[in-house]
Structure 1
């Protein structure tokens, strides 16, 4: 049975170990046709490194004898292009560069120097002695690189430059050290900007030192900053023809599930498993004109690896490595210890589930707080995805949970609101298993009472609803639905038990929120809201979607009425059983 290549990005290793591989080699001719110097942006953990190592194995002139072993059974094996095994490969992986401010330049220089050293070792048969004599005379790595590219152009050799995670360390610096340090290395005489200037200079020579170049990253920001716009190549990130170059389509996932099931693995119901994976890991579109959706490759492999080893779905539905990667994005909503305009936009997106916007192809970091650019960055990071023309949605529950985390972190980072999440998670657990719902909302109400700064952020029913969801999603006992259509209306919150993971959860909840401004509050209006909420909840309770989602669990109908930031009334509403037909 084929191993699951979770955490393995080396194409060569995947093929040599006969791991499960979804063939992407049909994109090699498309990549060649798209242009000589290309730039591809995709979210983290989508398979960018695997793609680059596949290109490395295919084009490397030193691996010609490995072609049969590495590509047998793939599309490109039967449809090779004239450029097969025709290039020297110079590859950089900037995830290996330290993001510590005191070490970053030295680490970057060491990485480039190492890459050039092993390049020389590998291709000694194609390089003359004077190459090695001359390159050793240079101390500065930029000068070494400039010389190497000029020499290759002079010799008439073909060089394919591959740069993986070009913006890895710069994004980390931006998020941890701030714009000032980031600006120093990407602008003016910054060493990173100079590196790209050397590459561009090689492209502009009569005897071109670079025949092809492919760069991957997670955002266009750094490329815009270091090149004043990506004017050394073509950004193929939004092209419909490259929607599926990374990621897995639904049929790929079905075939994987069927393969492991047919080879003796005990898996849950295939259709239910696929539906669960789609809700958590799917629904990505990388061009507004395509209809085929993609799954996140890493998360699919993580899920399958766990389910095969444990016989059940993972304890953590989100790969911890993904959580670590996305922690770097906290700078998007907090600037100089203040919640910037991006925080409000993020909250608005969560409230509505999406937004209409055009995606910007590139923009500098100074323009990151502009609404269009911020929305574009959320898209590039995978937090938003196309649903249709210009309609962007939160693609899945993984991204939704990460967004809720940004809201919680934002409140905490600027000392607006902070709670004991472990204590709160235990309260939610008791809500799920014991039906003790009051302590959950009383806890939050008491904390809002004590931490007065949060009150300025709690105005309006939708805002309060999002605030509650931000903390209810600390745990995953429930699949939370907002504004779901039920019983000829739209319920504010439906907490559907996550039965696939917690089969002993005993309670489900329909929650109706009502909001009264503090200036308009009267006892009479409160009674009107109580009556309205009661009628709505009893109407929602009989909806088939609720009955199906509960799967026999006890359903509780809860009303919560707020006046401004204050919870002024809460109660359980009895379910009215339908009268038997006569």
Structure 2
């Protein structure tokens, strides 16, 4: 997409001040939400290898005119396929940028499962488990083998904590102020989207009173996330739920029957999993008490499954986990300087 750089990034800072690495990377995308979390560890491992091999096949097709030869894939071990890909890339003037979306998705699904969930999870991330091994390969590949950058997204730091010895070179940007509204809509953006939506509706809906009514409804249901450390930053709207609302409203000019789409709601299995941990039920019940919101001194950021299962960790650990899962969000600080959370 080198020819579309100006179109895609021209009005952004990176477009106005491009770096020397502009348009210089091959890009490999992985999405671990496509890995099947069902079955024993052998089945899950096979699913992971199939996914990585499939992405490498797509990479090979997309860049075939820019590669000196096709990438040889090992149908059993995709980590070998990844090494082969890097061998081919290293024969070009370019390097590889690896994106891993939802890196902890299938591991979290396994962990929350009622069928040997914890045991299977530990087999995947512990010792020489396939997830830890994968990140060891990624780390080694960045040591002069052609992998130049890695960008990873996920839900919680639990899995990353458990594989830290395999991949201890990450820089966490989750709570940096400048990224606060990267993945959410601001109030101004919601107002602009609503204005465009109401142009398709009758004059009744365009009245200021009705418009304010809709904005109030949107604030109540969707405006509840603060990701940064700066307490003065405004909350941001959940974009998936907001777009669900606007998609319905622009079609019918009326509210959806269900403001919270069941298919998009937070994962009940994960909440149930947290409730089943030591102190979990008390923490979940406290989160529902709006008169006395949960408070902690600081967010935990180094979890690990073993730590979650220890009763001596106390409720603060689980409050942090519910925050990362999107069940709770930061609402400020109490008179004693503790972080306050709300649903």
Instruction: Name the TM-score, length of structure 2 as normaliser.
Output: 0.85
Q: How much does 1:247 deviate?
A: 0.2
Structure 1 residue 384 corresponds to structure 2 residue 324: no
Q: 2:317 aligns with which of 373, 381, 385?
A: 373
- Structure 1 gaps of 5+ residues are 1-62, 396-582
8 Å contact from structure 1 (residues 160, 211) kept in 2: yes
Q: How much does 1:330 deviate?
A: 1.6
Provide the C-alpha distance between the structure 1 equivalents of 2:73 and 2:269, rounded to a whole number of angstroms.
41
Provide the C-alpha distance between the structure 2 equivalents of 1:146 and 1:350, rounded to a whole number of angstroms.
49
Structure 1 residue 200 corresponds to structure 2 residue 142: no
Q: Which residue of 1 aligns with 2:211?
A: 270
Q: Which residue of 2 aligns with 1:104?
A: 44
Q: How much does 1:95 deviate?
A: 0.9
Tell me: CA distance 1:239–1:90, structure 2 relative to 1, closer, same or farther (3 Å): same
1:179-218 pair list within 5 angstroms = 179-203=118-142, 205=143, 207-218=144-155
Provide the C-alpha distance between the structure 2 equivalents of 1:359 and 1:276, rounded to a whole number of angstroms.
30
Root-mean-square deviation over aligned CA pairs = 2.4
8 Å contact from structure 1 (residues 153, 210) kept in 2: no
8 Å contact from structure 2 (residues 331, 342) kept in 1: no
Tell me: CA distance 1:302–1:349, structure 2 relative to 1, closer, same or farther (3 Å): same
Higher radius of gyration, 1 or 2? 1
State the SS of the aligned residue for 2:265. Answer: helix
Structure 1 residue 84 corresponds to structure 2 residue 22: yes
Provide the C-alpha distance between the structure 2 equivalents of 1:265 and 1:162, rounded to a whole number of angstroms.
44
Q: How much does 1:147 deviate?
A: 3.3
Q: How much does 1:215 deviate?
A: 0.6
Structure with greater proportional strand content = 1
Instruction: Name the TM-score, length of structure 1 as normaliser.
Output: 0.52
Structure 1 residue 295 corresponds to structure 2 residue 237: yes
Structure 1 residue 255 corresponds to structure 2 residue 255: no
Provide the C-alpha distance between the structure 2 equivalents of 1:120 and 1:208, rounded to a whole number of angstroms.
18
- Structure 2 gaps of 5+ residues are none
Tell me: CA distance 1:263–1:310, structure 2 relative to 1, closer, same or farther (3 Å): closer
Tell me: CA distance 1:104–1:110, structure 2 relative to 1, closer, same or farther (3 Å): same
State the SS of the aligned residue for 2:224. Answer: coil
Structure 1 residue 349 corresponds to structure 2 residue 292: no
State the SS of the aligned residue for 2:220. Answer: helix
Cα shift readout 1:142-188 (whole Å, capped 9, x = no counterpart): 12213323553464522110011111111111111311000001111
State the SS of the aligned residue for 2:267. Answer: helix
Deviating more after overlay: 356-365 vs 192-201: 356-365
Q: How much does 1:354 deviate?
A: 3.1
Provide the C-alpha distance between the structure 2 equivalents of 1:322 and 1:163, rounded to a whole number of angstroms.
22
1:1-150 pair list within 5 angstroms = 63-67=1-5, 70=8, 74-75=11-12, 79=16, 81-82=18-19, 83-102=21-40, 103-129=43-69, 132=71, 135-136=72-73, 139-150=76-87
Q: How much does 1:121 deviate?
A: 1.9
Q: Which residue of 2 aligns with 1:46?
A: none
